[in-house]
Amino acid sequence: MEIRVLRYFVAVAEVKTISGAAKRLHLSQPTLSRQISDLETETGSRLFIRGSREITLTDKGRYLLKRANAIIALVDKTEQNLQTDQTVISGSLDIGAGESRGMQRIMDLVAQLQQDYPAVTVHLHSGDAAAIEAQLADGRLDFGVIMGRRQLKQYGALKLPEVDRWGIIMPKAAPLAQQKFIAPNDLVGLPLMVSEQALQRDLFQDWWRNVANQITITGTYNLIFNATLMVTNGGSYVLGFANLVNTDTESPLTFRPLKPELAEPITVVWSKEQPLSPVAQVFLKRLEANLG
């Protein structure tokens, strides 16, 4: 399976017509059609359903598209880093992270790095810890920023001094907003949205204490911004991290921390199995100096 043909396949999947993809790729339609047909023969799978106006992916085609994008990204990153003049720091830096206040420190370092080395490009990838670990393992990421307590023996790791504190995001007009802190009993009977990853880890099980069976979880979220739209329209309260949502004087929302406090450590990790590129090495040295 050649990278060139995978690029052809991705183009057809995105454009949804052979003619449009051929134009984008500067190929003739018969040539592109033959390449796609040969790819289907090679994989032993039907990848497209050919319609009268456009073609769509089969289930196996969607699987291949996801893998092809990952493979192409890794190849491009590898080629870019190998072709870089090592006397000049350049290349791409890929960082994966969830939503966290600890990212401000990382972004400050990235901004300074790009100011000093304008040829460096930075790619930010959002995702939970499981997705970040998978991308670190296959080399798509240089670094991951992971929130929470996890087994990190297989990684190089630096713990940030910041922590993410859990609390409740609610309308300022809510009666609960009159309190400085939120205790488990305060949430009984309220509609509550919770981080999907935290719920899977049973993170709040001890915190709920004796009212766990009285907590009403009406939904989960991966990105807190989308969840807060439910708060704005009065549909729910959100259990999330501090400092991620606008709660200034103009915002209809406010945040109240949990009591007893519940906080998560923030750790920058990288694979011990994958050698770091020159730009990744510079970033790591700067992060170590910053934390030191």
* pLDDT for res 80: 67
Q: Please state, in angstroms and rounded to a whole number, the distance separating the CA atoms of residues 53 and 109.
A: 49
Structural domains for the chain: 3-80 (1.10.10.10), 89-292 (3.40.190.290)
Residue where the block lists tokens 């991951």: 144
Residues 6+ apart with CB under 8 A from 200: none
Predicted pLDDT at 198: 85
All residues at 6 or more sequence positions from 41 whose CB lies less than 8 Å from its CB, including other chains: none
pLDDT tens sequence across 12-46: 999 898 888 888 888 888 888 898 888 889 888 89
Give residues with Cβ within 8 angstroms of 21, minimum separation 6.
8, 11, 12, 14, 15, 32
259 Cβ partners below 8 Å, 6+ apart?
181, 182, 183
Q: Around 71, how many Cα atoms within 13 Å sit in the side-chain half-sphere?
A: 15
- Length of the chain as a residue count: 292
Residues 6 or more apart whose Cβ sits within 8 Å of residue 57: 13, 47, 48, 49, 65
Q: Is the pTM of this model over 0.85?
A: no
Residue 89: its pLDDT value, please? 65
Average of per-residue pLDDT values in the chain? 88
pLDDT per residue as tens digits for the range 141-155: 999 998 888 777 889
Which range is least confidently modeled, 17-21, 62-66, 135-139, 260-264? Answer: 135-139
**Residue-wise pLDDT tens digits, 175-207:** 999 999 999 999 999 999 998 888 888 889 889
Which pLDDT band, with edges at 50, 70 and 90, does 124 fall under?
Answer: very high
Amino acid at 166: W
Pairing mode, if any, of strands 91-97 and 120-126?
Answer: parallel
Task: Give the residue with greater pLDDT, 284 vs 227.
Answer: 284
Q: Is the pLDDT of residue 84 over 60?
A: no
Which of the residue ranges 64-78, 85-99, 159-173 would you say has the lowest mean pLDDT? 85-99
